[in-house]
Structure 1
Amino acid sequence: MEKLPKSIIPIVIAIIIVIIFISNSTVNINSGEAGVLFKRFGGGVVTDEPALGEGFHLVAPWNDVFVYEVRQQSIDEKMVVLSSNGLDIKLDVTIWYEPDYDRLGLLHKERGEDYLRRLILPAVRSATRTVVGRYKPEELYAQKRESIQEEMYVESEQMLKDQFVQVNRILVRDVSLPPTIKQAIERKLKQEQESLEYQYRLEKAEKEKERQRIEAEGKARANEILSASLTDKILREKGIQATIELSTSTNSKVIVIGSGDDGMPLILGGNN
């Protein structure tokens, strides 16, 4: 292979230098990410400009770009904290979090890339201790999980204010109490349920008793009204009507007029 002409060597070297320069000057930021620019000879971390968005970027080869995931992320955490009476309470918690996109440069400069371990987890742990420390174990067992989650979120949000990160939600997946405490609480809840059931039966029986009393009073009142309306004249008229109806029937009979104590006819005989 013949040697290259001396005039071509500088061109080859220049091409190689350009290739190296370009390869060190290009940054590709993927979906859901953003870049923080560090100017080695221009003041360090850039905080007064927007973060580098998704896509292809050209930067000076002596500068660096630190890539952050800016989508919502999650982490599962197991914690052991004390209740108000000093008993160990175990919690399984899921934290949804993300960095503050608009202040990503400040986050990198003042807090660093490991902001999850430095900021979010300590804040959530402290908030959990504060919230759980307000309750007794039996209160935690009966308390609505949503309200505990909300209290933990509010406490965490307050602690992380102006820290260039945000916690979107805290989910309490499980609350574990000491076995003896849990059994005692379950027994108490069972007794309360049985007491409520017994009270319900008593109330139902009392209502049925009241219904029967009202029904009996109604019948008695109706009988009183009926008795008051049945005068001698009405009874005699009813008797006459009944006598007329019997006399027209096909059954054989003997009718004695005026033989009753009150002058009503008597019906004697009859096949049926």
Structure 2
Amino acid sequence: MQFIFFGTIAIIAGLYLISKKLLFYGDGRVVPSRGSGSLLIVIGLLLIAASGIRIVEAGNVGVQKLFGKVNLNKPLNEGIHLINPLTVVVPMSIRTEAYTMSSMQDEGQIRGDDSIKVLTSDGLTVTLDVTVWFKVDPQKAPEIYQKLGEDYIGKIVRPTVRTALRDAGVKHTSSAIYSAEKREVFVADVEAEIKPSFENYGIIQEKTLLRNVTLPDMVATAIEKKLKADQEQQEMDYVLQK
């Protein structure tokens, strides 16, 4: 905006000098003002043109906004662009981002215990630590900015993931979620719950990581004993078959 202001002043001054035709100096010299006026006009035009240069950094797209109205057409890709000097460009990251909800202090985006408590199909409550990888669809960035602003993570990503975990949890037993072998099925159901909500807002889901599963102590002990017994039985069956 400063370039526009000074450029406009330079053009006005240049036009004024041209209209005066002559310049009078204190020592009595009289010289034509057309050259000085033309130079000021050129400088003014260059300043205004320079104010229209925008640089979009790597890993971002630029959402254009003119007088508060968002341009929903193709956003600016990374690099240098020459646009309307009055246009405001809002950078939005299109890199893969990770959002973590964890019981560990300072591990996730929110300080303190931010783990998710999920009710399972067998009526038990398990506590989950989760990380979700996602990114903004570059072509949908203007729409995301118009509908959600820059805090789309807090408005969409976080609540969608927490809801998906709880909705998927009621379809699985606590032992299935706890078991490393069966956990993938639960994660697949979670991702199936997340995908349509993300896509509706122009967010691309990449991967969901179930980082830790905490069961009530008594249940965890019982499951571990059962898993160990099953493993020992499989080993015994293998020995007998030989």
Tell me whether the two structures share a fold, i.e. TM-score over 0.5. yes
Query: CA 1:169–1:37 in 2, change beyond 3 Å: closer, same or farther?
Result: same
Determine helix, strand or coil for the equivalent of 1:62: coil
Cα root mean square deviation, aligned: 2.9
Determine helix, strand or coil for the equivalent of 2:199: coil
Query: CA 1:24–1:89 in 2, change beyond 3 Å: closer, same or farther?
Result: farther
Deviates more, 1:19-28 or 1:105-114: 19-28
Instruction: Give 1:193 deviation, angstroms.
Output: 3.5
In 2, the alpha carbon distance for the partners of 1:29 and 1:196 equals 59
Instruction: Give 1:18 deviation, angstroms.
Output: 5.1
Query: CA 1:202–1:146 in 2, change beyond 3 Å: closer, same or farther?
Result: closer
Partner of 2:84: 60
In 1, the alpha carbon distance for the partners of 2:223 and 2:93 equals 44
Give runs of aligned pairs for residues 65-214 of structure 1, distance below 5 A.
65-78=89-102, 79-82=115-118, 83-142=120-179, 143-198=181-236
Query: CA 1:137–1:64 in 2, change beyond 3 Å: closer, same or farther?
Result: same
Give aligned-pair identity as a percent: 28
In 1, the alpha carbon distance for the partners of 2:86 and 2:213 equals 52
Contact map agreement 1:89 1:175 (CA 8 A) in 2: yes
TM-score, normalised to structure 1's length? Answer: 0.62
TM-score, normalised to structure 2's length? Answer: 0.69
Contact map agreement 1:37 1:65 (CA 8 A) in 2: yes
Contact map agreement 1:81 1:132 (CA 8 A) in 2: no
In 1, the alpha carbon distance for the partners of 2:58 and 2:154 equals 24
Determine helix, strand or coil for the equivalent of 1:60: coil
Determine helix, strand or coil for the equivalent of 1:160: helix
What is the letter of the counterpart of residue 56 of structure 1? I
**1:38 aligned to 60, 65, 83, which one?**
65
In 2, the alpha carbon distance for the partners of 1:33 and 1:180 equals 49
Query: CA 1:9–1:170 in 2, change beyond 3 Å: closer, same or farther?
Result: same
Give runs of aligned pairs for residues 14-53 of structure 1, distance below 5 A.
21-40=48-67, 44-47=69-72, 49-53=73-77
Aligned residues: 197
In 2, the alpha carbon distance for the partners of 1:141 and 1:191 equals 16
Deviation digits for residues 195-215 of structure 1, max 9, x if unmatched? 4455556666xxxxxxxxxxx
Structure 1, unaligned stretches of length 5 or more? 205-272
What is the letter of the counterpart of residue 80 of structure 1? I
Structure with greater Cα Rg = 1
Deviates more, 1:123-132 or 1:100-109: 100-109
Contact map agreement 2:133 2:206 (CA 8 A) in 1: yes
Deviates more, 1:70-79 or 1:179-188: 70-79
Deviation digits for residues 204-247 of structure 1, max 9, x if unmatched? 6xxxxxxxxxxxxxxxxxxxxxxxxxxxxxxxxxxxxxxxxxxx
Instruction: Give 1:38 deviation, angstroms.
Output: 0.9
What is the letter of the counterpart of residue 63 of structure 1? T
By relative contact order (CA 8 Å, sep 6+), the higher-ranking structure is 2
Determine helix, strand or coil for the equivalent of 1:134: coil
Query: CA 1:195–1:26 in 2, change beyond 3 Å: closer, same or farther?
Result: same
